[in-house]
Copies of this chain bind each other. A is one copy, B any other.
């Protein structure tokens, strides 16, 4: 059995037998930065879980620009919607991935959970479906916040909110005094996720640094004034 499978929220708390069954249908894929996972409109195979690394979900606009909608980290799932949207019908051909996805870190690992097989499991186990409900609800909440931020806030506020969020992620899991955040991605991806231009992001980070609130070194950010950062993001 894959050693990471239990750490994926929707599969936690399942009995061994079921976990074995799921382990039997999944496929692991190793990727490097820039490796594609699926393309927009490609036939739907199933959904994914990130085991290691970082994955971006993005769309390409008419003028060829890339726009990142989500960034998915370890033990989070993505692309479940096509599977869940239509659990009754089995007309598999019509299902397509609704966006593109790509690894944005080297040695990223993802797990494919094939749609057909998983649908059967889902229909027979209420626990999984309850877990998935809870997972989707959390995602909804996260997206609500994202929408809120995109409409309510200017680039500086959005950037501060992002850094703050990363900071909290780190301090939550490791109780070390280390306030150093690693972005794990380049300026281009971060700018796209924050809905701004690379140049604007660069200037914004520069401003936050010259104000003594953060210290930027390449892809690392050291938070110096947590209070001020929080103040900016929610003013």
Interface string of A73-87 (1 = CB under 8 A from B): 000000011111111
Please state if A136 and B136 are interface contacts (CB–CB under 8 Å).
Answer: yes
A132 interface residue per 8 A CB criterion: yes
Interface string of A224-235 (1 = CB under 8 A from B): 000000000011
Closest-by-CB residue of B relative to A13 is: B88
A114 interface residue per 8 A CB criterion: no
Interface string of A110-127 (1 = CB under 8 A from B): 000000000000110010
How far is the CB of A94 from the nearest CB of chain B, in Å? 14
User: Once the chains are docked, how many angstroms separate the CA of A83 from the CA of B234?
Assistant: 26
Tell me whether A151 and B195 are in contact in the complex, defined as CB-CB below 8 angstroms, given that A69-B144, A139-B140 are known contacts.
yes
A99 interface residue per 8 A CB criterion: yes
Q: Report B-chain residues with C-beta under 8 Å of the C-beta of A132.
A: 133
User: Once the chains are docked, how many angstroms separate the CA of A198 from the CA of B35?
Assistant: 43
Interface string of A131-150 (1 = CB under 8 A from B): 01110111111011011101
Q: Report B-chain residues with C-beta under 8 Å of the C-beta of A144.
A: 69, 81, 98-99, 143
Interface string of A44-86 (1 = CB under 8 A from B): 0000000000000001011000010100000000001111111
User: Once the chains are docked, how many angstroms separate the CA of A59 from the CA of B144?
Assistant: 10
Q: Report B-chain residues with C-beta under 8 Å of the C-beta of A25.
A: none
Q: Apart from A81-B144, A126-B129, what 12 extra A-B contacts exist at CB < 8 Å?
A: A61-B152, A69-B148, A80-B137, A81-B141, A83-B137, A84-B137, A86-B134, A98-B141, A133-B136, A136-B140, A150-B150, A150-B195
Q: Can you report 5 residue pairs joining A to B where beta carbons are below 8 Å apart?
A: A62-B234, A62-B235, A67-B152, A84-B137, A151-B195
**Which 5 A-B pairs have CB atoms at the shortest separation, nearest pair first?**
A84-B137, A151-B195, A85-B137, A81-B137, A136-B136
